[in-house]
């Protein structure tokens, strides 16, 4: 009787989980599918039922958004900024996380605590101080060279992105490095490998699942970031989220909905493609990190 009751409870629990997951999937998929559907509609189709299927494939919306609205330039700017930010972030965070997780030295606890404290700092709270700092540096440069450097510069924006993401990234990588067994390091030390060779040849390949998680999470963060890009790029080198907001404002005022939704698809598509490519490794990385060797 108890076993039968337990089986019934397990069955009800599984049904609840499946219903919850299916409901969540529907809640996520329907809006995304609707945006994709709306992006290929002609403008007059929006005055009918919003749930009606498009009469045809009006890809002119993408050409108008990509070329006439400048989304192509914004797309390229976002690729440059996101790629550079990821490179800067990995170059800075991987050695830092490895050292802080595998070595004990004077001040290591303080540095670890300092990094963890950075997890509680919201980027939006420090946007204005960052802008004022860069503005002051620009003004100093203009007195010497008649030209600024730090504002309206995609490389500087990428560096700011990387620095603001360091606390979370170092914390995540350190947590993973701590789960790796020390046997491989000891074997490398016996073979005469130094610290750098051990890190690059042995530890980093073992930490690949965690690195993939870091790349995916920070790609989403950098690709969709708006506040810093709007504040630090006052010129025409806009990134995709800032350009999309301008497109939404212009097309809403002109009652031109097709290119507006096409612009949304242009922003969403790289994220969806990247997630599809790495989803298996992402799941692996989130589970392997919890197992100690």
- Rounded Cα distance, 27 and 21, in Å: 10
Contact yes or no for 248/263 (Cβ under 8 A): yes
284: nearest Cα among 217, 207, 220? 207
Q: Taking residues 72-77, what's their average pLDDT?
A: 92
In angstroms, the Cα distances linking 207 to 192, 194, 263 are 22, 18, 36
Q: Measuring CA to CA, which residue among 11, 203, 201 is closest to residue 103?
A: 203
More confident position, 221 or 201: 221
* Per-residue pLDDT at 90: 96
3-class SS string, 206-235: HCHHHHHHHHHHHHHHHHHCCHHHHHHCCC
pLDDT in tens, 222-237: 999 999 999 999 888 8
CB contact at 8 A, 254 and 68: no
Rounded-to-integer distance, Cα 277 and Cα 282, Å: 10
Distance CA 121, CA 164 (A): 9
pLDDT at 290 over 50: no
What distance in Å separates the CA atoms of residue 179 and residue 203, rounded to the nearest whole number?
A: 11
Instruction: Report the pLDDT value the prediction gives residue 83, as an integer from 0 to 100.
Output: 96
Half-sphere exposure of 201 (CA within 13 A, CB side): 13
pLDDT tens, 106-158? Answer: 888 899 899 989 999 889 899 999 999 999 999 988 888 878 789 999 999 99
Banded pLDDT at 46 (limits 50, 70, 90): confident
pLDDT band at 255 (very low <50, low <70, confident <90, very high): low
Residue 227 CA to its chain's centroid (Å) = 14
Per-residue pLDDT at 23 exceeds 80? yes
How large a percentage of the chain has pLDDT more than 70?
91
pLDDT at residue 293 in the model: 44
Cα distance between residue 271 and residue 276, in whole Å:
9
The C-alpha atoms of residue 152 and residue 250 are separated, in whole angstroms, by 23
Which one, of 178, 164, 163, lies nearest residue 98 by Cα? 178
Average pLDDT of span 87-91 = 96
pLDDT value of position 292: 45
- The more confident residue out of 286 and 199 is 199
CA-atom Rg of the chain in angstroms: 24
HSE-CB at 262 with a 13 A cutoff on CA atoms is: 25
Domains defined for the chain, CATH in brackets: 60-286 (1.10.3720.10)
CB-CB neighbours of 157 under 10 Å: 27
Residues 274, 277, 279, 282: is their CA dihedral positive or negative? negative
Judge contact between 177 and 97, C-beta under 8 A. yes
pLDDT band for position 283 (50/70/90)? low
Q: Is the pLDDT of residue 3 over 80?
A: no
What average pLDDT does this structure show over 34-47?
86
Longest Cα pair distance anywhere in the chain, in angstroms? 87
Does position 164 have pLDDT exceeding 60, yes or no? yes
User: In sequence order, what are the residues at sequence separation of 6 or more whose Cβ sits closer than 8 angstroms to the Cβ of residue 212?
Assistant: 278, 281, 282, 285
* Mean per-residue pLDDT of the chain: 85
pLDDT score for 291: 45
- Indicate if the pLDDT at residue 186 is higher than 90: no
């Amino acid at each position: 009787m108890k076993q039968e009751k337990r089986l019934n409870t397990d069955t009800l629990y599984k049904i609840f989980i499946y219903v919850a997951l299916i409901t969540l999937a529907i809640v996520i998929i329907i809006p995304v599918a609707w945006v994709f559907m709306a992006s290929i509609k002609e403008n007059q189709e929006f005055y009918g039922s919003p749930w009606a299927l498009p009469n045809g494939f009006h890809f002119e919306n993408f050409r108008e958004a990509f070329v006439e609205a400048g989304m192509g330039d914004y797309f390229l700017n976002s690729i440059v900024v996101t790629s550079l930010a990821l490179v800067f972030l990995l170059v800075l965070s991987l050695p830092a996380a490895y050292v802080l997780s595998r070595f004990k030295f004077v001040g290591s606890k303080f540095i670890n605590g300092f990094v963890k404290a950075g997890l509680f700092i919201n980027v939006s709270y420090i946007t204005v101080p960052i802008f004022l700092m860069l503005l002051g540096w620009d003004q100093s440069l203009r007195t010497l060279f008649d030209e600024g450097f730090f504002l309206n510069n995609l490389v500087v924006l990428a560096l700011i992105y990387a620095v603001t993401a360091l606390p979370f990234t170092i914390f995540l990588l350190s947590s993973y490095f701590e789960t790796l067994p020390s046997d491989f390091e000891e074997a490398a030390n016996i073979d005469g490998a130094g610290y750098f060779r051990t890190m690059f040849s042995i530890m980093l390949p073992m930490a690949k699942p965690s690195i993939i998680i870091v790349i995916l999470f920070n790609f989403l963060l950098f690709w969709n970031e708006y506040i810093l890009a709007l504040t630090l790029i006052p010129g025409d080198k806009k990134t995709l989220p800032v350009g999309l907001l301008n497109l939404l404002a212009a097309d809403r005022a002109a009652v031109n909905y097709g290119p507006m939704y096409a612009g949304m698809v242009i922003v969403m598509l790289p994220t969806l493609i990247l997630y599809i490519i790495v989803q298996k490794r992402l799941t692996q990385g989130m589970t392997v990190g919890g197992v100690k060797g």
